[in-house]
Chains A and B, each alone.
Chain A
């Protein structure tokens, strides 16, 4: 693992969907056993590649609107030696095909890479029905499932390429829109190992997905107020990098978690479990407060669900103030 952080965190010119589509089609060209399954949301992530579906016979498959069968079929394909990636919007993967992921997938030792797009507020104008604040929660207690949330396009490309080589069940909750650039090309990521992307001594912000960029903004504001905040990108939510969590608790004495997900049974809960059992220090959670989603633009939704840098600053100050001595 060796990361190069970007100096400016501007929006990438390429969308995450474009990065995924480019990476997976390249992989399919390199290895005929790699497949990409869609449940009629192909154009949403594969874009124009769906119009070239005939260029990938036996590899790019549109199953129709039937997520449960798509996941089951993917598990069967993997049993017969194929390497299927299966995509839908995150709620339709995690909620609708939940038992298929458990029984046909995890319990059966299948080798399927699940791509759940538009996690949390990324669903924007599709609104509450499509806005999963609970996808990680719905899957986190499944043994044999790795859960990840790529932070930007550089990481997404690296993770998808790694997954093509790895056996097992993986769930990737993945933005489709352009997101802030956090890493430079050439960065390497190790699944299960968190990245420290800014050093600090007074408090650690452990974030994932779009909240990493907010955490970096928050750290800058905190710096101006005399608080030194460390920022950790916890892109693997399960298995959690427990060693990193404990190290940060010990060295900074206070933790803030930040996630585009419910505060229940997501990143924040996972961090709290580790902290409570190993090294109790104050923890404050930034996340969605047990409510349903709604339509809106990203800026509105960030404010509506308290997912801004300002929200992280408030919680970081609260956590730092709770430190003993």
Chain B
């Protein structure tokens, strides 16, 4: 259970992640807004409470790992990392500028705190499984977290990794499915319906539960349960809204990659601050 104070702190952290994410994209005037906004509450719980990391030592051996397989949500992760102190806040203005340390998709060679390079969808969970396997072999207690998108789960490689993780009893692996129900061209229901994740994952011998992906306490409680080392990998299906918290993007069908004017950004940030 989170204390009221901790809930308030995480709410504030989530809000700041959103503000900086919108602000980053406004510099270039475009970005992957929808899928970045939908994971901000999860990032708040991970970096604000659950993950064992040290901003001074991004490669710390004892850290927990996060693989954001939906690499286009990079800007939201960068906001969280910067707020946490992995790199100066000023870097956030350099998103997608020449020679930047913050490219649109996550790149572990460029950004302190990014554990794994992603961007070609469907590959992150396999890499996460490899890391989790290595940590199991070495009897290391690190937690391995991986975020995939619901659209991304249409890539077959995910299901290879899901079978592999169950077979190898990777109970140190926690998978989040950002179930925002939209992909680039349309809704997932209209293109390639993936429902229901919980049933699918359970039938693949995973432990799975569904929570409101914008309820900080629910996310935290689900992670607490998923940390149980019972021989099964764990999945938390986050029911989210694509574009959540960005006034001009939320609830718009095609908000995967959109233009972001300075005025729109200011209005959206004002709305978050109200």
Residues of B within 8 A of A78 (CB): 130
Residue A318 at the B interface, CB < 8 A?
no
- In the A-B complex, the 3 residue pairs with the smallest Cβ-Cβ separation, listed nearest first, are A76-B130, A72-B126, A80-B134
Given contacts A69-B157, A108-B108, contact A79 B164 (CB under 8 A): no
Q: Is B237 an interface residue (CB 8 A)?
A: no
Chain A contact surface mostly: helix
**Chain A residues positioned under 8 Å from B136 (CB to CB):** 58
Contact of A79 among B125, B130, B156, B157 (CB under 8 A): B130
By the criterion CB–CB under 8 Å, are B130 and A74 in contact? yes
Is A76 touching B117 in the complex (CB atoms < 8 A)?
no
* Residues of B participating in the A interface, judged by any CB pair closer than 8 Å: 108-109, 115-120, 123, 125-138, 156-157, 160-161, 163-164, 167-168
Q: Is A204 an interface residue (CB 8 A)?
A: no
For A72, A77, A104, which residue has the most chain B Cβ atoms within 10 angstroms?
Answer: A72
Query: Does A184 reach chain B (CB closer than 8 Å)?
Result: no
Please choose the segment from A60-68, A160-168, A189-197, A234-242 that sits at the chain B interface, where 4 or more of its residues have CB less than 8 A away: A60-68
A interface vs B, CB < 8 Å?
58, 61, 63-64, 66, 68-69, 71-82, 84, 99-100, 102-104, 107-109
16 contacts between A and B (CB under 8 A): A64-B163, A64-B164, A68-B126, A68-B160, A69-B126, A72-B129, A73-B130, A79-B127, A79-B130, A79-B134, A80-B131, A81-B138, A84-B130, A102-B120, A104-B126, A109-B109
A107 to B123, CA, bound (A): 13
Q: Which of B119, B129, B135, B157 neighbours the largest number of chain A CB atoms within 10 Å of its CB? A: B157
CA distance A102 to B123 in the complex (A): 11
CA separation between A74 and B131, bound complex, in Å? 9
User: Contact: A76 with B128, CB < 8 Å?
Assistant: yes
Additional pairs, 11, CB under 8 Å, beyond known A58-B137, A73-B127: A58-B136, A71-B126, A72-B126, A72-B129, A72-B130, A74-B130, A75-B130, A76-B116, A80-B130, A104-B117, A108-B116
Beta-carbon contact of A72 and B133 below 8 Å: no
Residue of B109, B134, B167 touching A64 (CB-CB under 8 A): B167
